[in-house]
Structure 1
Amino acid sequence: MCIESAVEAGWVEERPILRQVAFSDPRRCVTIAPSWLTPTVLELVKGIYDEKAFDRLPILADALQDAGCDNDDILNHCRQPGEHVKGCWVVDLVLGKK
């Protein structure tokens, strides 16, 4: 199912976690600058992924910003309240999974 169909069906609004895991926003073309992948960022994102410690995403945002990241999509996503889960597009992007 495409994201448009899910939105029309009301699934995304009812289950916002679906947008994060199952659908990537086709308008989002985000890349990671190699300079942002500092040892601190890499250690932090690996721990988040391995330990399912998604409550650390705001700390990841700070580390990415300290490394020079100025991408509002990335930083705002990491700092948004709510549940994050394995499959989070930022974590996967930093880990090179997407």
Structure 2
Amino acid sequence: MIEGLGNRISQLRKNHHLSQGELAGALGVTSALISSWERGERIPVVPKLLKLCDIFNVSTDYLLGRKSSNHISLEGLSPNDAKAIATIIKSLREKNIKN
């Protein structure tokens, strides 16, 4: 099995406020299969793995544990929009440090 894959799927699902059933519906699989992925009993086939990456906006390297951070692409945004996103991220980090 792939170390930590189930935990990353579970955490991303929760971060996106999705139930196992909702994620299963988006992927065209059963919630039991999502549960088995999250418990590390099974791993997603490549097409489902790629769909997970699309849903959660993460790279396959992140999902598979080859890269430790979750990268958010700012591709296609105007410079002003990219700057606004960076400001929001900075503000959220500062808020979380205080808590």
- TM-score, length-normalised on structure 1? 0.28
Larger radius of gyration: 2
| Greater relative contact order, per chain length (Cα 8 Å cut-off, separation 6+) | 1
